[in-house]
Structure 1
């Protein structure tokens, strides 16, 4: 673990819509280079919490701080380059795999190395020949891995993962897990939503959310 001060602070964050509590109050700290499993039954607000942390939703109450500063005071575009959210249902852009993997470079006005992008695909068990493959021809698991790689072209401070291995077989789940582990070892913090008890049976910290109206969280190592 890196700096002793928290990278992320979640304080009594709650989300209510149309009088219904979708996320009961939750609080925790996340430090540099820390990996956190986030679990709980359907309706407990796991994806809602990640979207709040990613600054894609405004909480109904409570506060999220990034490096000590409320995220509400930060520029959303700059913040989202440091805190990256990978959706459960991949959101791909453009026409091809190349269009997606080159997008982070285009946003930052940096040159794109095609050979590097081809090599990146192999890190998650995809063929380098897939660069020019149309996105509509990809399987669900292929889309998940392309979306993940797109978010990792410029490693963020915090990576938010919403059931990103749900469409993968065991071999490719292992490849993705190893990729995330290597990233965490370099200092990136990660929060990963999962329902896979095998994935989570690794002795690492876990927070379990419960549906709104109940005690919202339970921590375990």
Structure 2
């Protein structure tokens, strides 16, 4: 059985009442991937914005494997120390990673964030030398639209992430860069300029699905 682990921040954990892009990808893979698969991870909850804590199980459709390693307000800096144990415990085969916005917004600059990407990859491979990873750059967001220095940091980090993926790619443990969906519109695909609404969930899921299909022949293009 192929075991996917979604790793991310608030856009990946999602909020109470949402489907999440994780669900959208699962639905796609149910139709597009011929073999058995599941989603794994040490967490299953959504973020409850009223409680200000990740304590909700109120998925719009809870009938899917909800395991993940994602957290509201968490970034590469938080996940790098956690990923090794998560990979070992849950025997993940493929990591689907969408991180970076929180790091750049609150903790580290582009170069420091790229260093944490390398630490994350090293820890994941120490847990499983054959782990595969799909890495998504920071997606368009409202802060980058209005804060030029922050937008510059986002652009710089995305360049460094692409270079890191190319430099550290290995045949036995491939790294794939999944570029942000080219049609992603923060005014139409998010509900607040950052967090995806239904169309945004589909587009993020499509970016991961299409990257895996193109790189590894896994499944089919999203929507096929």
So what's the TM-score if we normalise by structure 2? 0.34
Larger RCO (CA within 8 A; separation ≥ 6):
1
Decide which structure has greater helix share: 2
